[in-house]
Chains A and B, each alone.
Chain A
Amino acid sequence: EAGVAQSPRYKIIEKRQSVAFWCNPISGHATLYWYQQILGQGPKLLIQFQNNGVVDDSQLPKDRFSAERLKGVDSTLKIQPAKLEDSAVYLCASSPLPSGGFYEQYFGPGTRLTVT
């Protein structure tokens, strides 16, 4: 079974530039998550999709971050404009559709963003 795919793996940009990350979840997984992991911290959920609808985006800085999941499969996360404090690893995860219980989240390799 193919895992969660993410690209690019690394990105270096200057502050105030824009950047986009792409995620392809495990086939058949209805739920997709984007996490931000700043160095020295654990992953923090930015946004959760169920199919192509947003379930939770309470921790997404909406003035500069946006995400979409068209057609309920692939997803993109965009930052515009980037700030120095956005330097982090951006993780994508997916899980089957929860139904009365917890479903394991499977993580991708992440995209390491450096903002200079």
Chain B
Amino acid sequence: AQSVSQHNHHVILSEAASLELGCNYSYGGTVNLFWYVQYPGQHLQLLLKYFSGDPLVKGIKGFEAEFIKSKFSFNLRKPSVQWSDTAEYFCAVNPREYGNKLVFGAGTILRVKS
């Protein structure tokens, strides 16, 4: 069965540090890729998405992600984190032949120290 792996469950960074969160998926077909974020006490919300085209996608709040097809990866990056980026981040995959279904990774809890 397809799966989504997030490399780190907890990450602690100081403000202004660079962030990279890893995501790998096991599905071999064509996929759409997403990063969702859940800030403390808030709903899951979409951070960015990749459907096709330029493999480097930019999302809200200065986040970006790079799709590397050969590595089945979709890593999330931010050059300089802020205290307000403290949240849980989920990678999700939509195998296109599965309609609108999302498969989520286990999530990475990011804590940014001020």
Contacts and interface: CB of A to CB of B under 8 A. Distances in A.
Interface of A: 3-4, 31, 40-45, 48, 55-56, 91, 93, 95, 98, 101-105, 107-110
Nearest to A95: B100
Nearest to B36: A107
A107 B43 contact: yes
Query: Size band of the B side of the interface?
Result: 20 to 34
A98 B84 CA distance: 33
Contact of A40 (B9, B51, B94): B9
Nearest to B109: A40
A42 B101 contact: no
13 contacts: A40-B107, A42-B90, A42-B92, A42-B107, A43-B90, A45-B101, A48-B100, A48-B101, A101-B51, A102-B51, A105-B100, A107-B45, A109-B42
Nearest to B45: A107
A93 B94 CA distance: 15
Interface string B21-56: 000000000001000000000111110010100000
Contacts of A31: 100
A101 B100 CA distance: 8
* Smallest CB-CB A-B distances: 9 pairs: A42-B104, A107-B44, A98-B100, A107-B43, A43-B104, A102-B32, A42-B106, A42-B105, A41-B106
B102 A109 contact: no
B96 to A, nearest CB: 8
A103 B96 CA distance: 12
Contacts of B92: 42
A43 B102 CA distance: 9
B51 to A, nearest CB: 7
Interface in B58-80: none
